Amino acid sequence: MSLVKTALIGLKADSFRHPLDLEATKTLKQIPGIDMMVRNWLGPMAEQVFYVENIAASVLVGEKQLPDLHNLLLDACNILDIEPPQLYVRQHPAPNAYTFAMRGKQPFVVLHTSLIDMLTPEEIQAVIAHELGHLKCDHSVYLTPVNLLILAAAILPNVGAILAQTLQAQLLEWVRCAEFTCDRAALLATQNPKVVMSVLMKLAGGSPTLAPQLNLDAFVAQARAYDDISNTELGVMVKEARTAQLSHPVPVLRAREIDRWASSTEYHILMQNHGFKGETETAPKGGWRNW
């Protein structure tokens, strides 16, 4: 029998969205035409490419195909109050997960086999829930150009230079902020901050061999040491330069953020206001963004 979790009935995206995500989204909305560009140009092209790629080179998870993963998906969807997307497993040596969705279309989540191999079932569910967070918060409008404009910059250097100057910095800043929100979704689904922080630790320095030997308490202490770097002006400058071109915040920073939010009054009030106690094994069955 599974542990009893709280299903968050009526959960709204803004009830767990990270403040930095809210602020960065407001900035992006000021860029004219970006939503139309995604819907009318980038979106349809990417949707067709990714759909064909998944069908051709991945395994679609379902009741009769990798049912344990299917149940983890349904359980997380039940807790987060979201319709289940398609879930694919893809053979790949780089541990990763991503999601893609256009409004009104069939969304999907992809897990790489190398990521699955070094995680426990609870940790796999945290990854799935993180990707569901992108869907819950409708991040696809901005995630699509992040991935595809980088591709366009490589194919069309002249256009790419302009795009890099006008969009890339703002988009990458938003993506890093959005990751904090989706880590919160992972916490809401697993309802155990240690599980989410353990995933981040394994992404930072894990492997199927090393993962069982890693020490979470030591990793949390490492996150606090990263905080201490900000005590000097030079430290702040080095940290900002280190992250400016990244699509994700560094793992220790994400772990620190989730640790703080799990201890916050905001988190506990959210759980109390939306919570419905129920056995996750009896959850009703329904139906690119890197982790």
How far is the C-alpha of 187 from the C-alpha of 125, rounded, in Å?
Answer: 10
Give backbone dihedrals phi and psi of 80, rounded to 5 degrees, phi first.
-85, 0
| β-pair partners for 112 | 90
CB 71 within 8 A of CB 92: no
Residues 6+ apart with CB under 8 A from 81: 7, 8, 9, 10, 11
Output phi, psi for 251, to 5 deg: -55, -40
Q: List, as one string, the DSSP characters of 37-69.
A: HIIIIIHHHHHHHHHHHHHHHSEE-BTTBSHHH
Name the DSSP class of 248.
S
Which helix (H) or strand (E) element contains residue 208?
none
DSSP-assigned beta bridge partners for residue 109: 87, 99
Residues acting as catalytic residues: 131
Q: How far, in Å, are 29, 140, 285 from residue 60 at the CA level? A: 34, 21, 16
**Which residue is it, tokens 């359980």?**
75
Q: Quick one: CA torsion of 248, 250, 251, 254, rounded to 10 degrees? A: -80
Spatial separation of the C-alpha atoms in residues 255 and 198, rounded to whole Å: 8
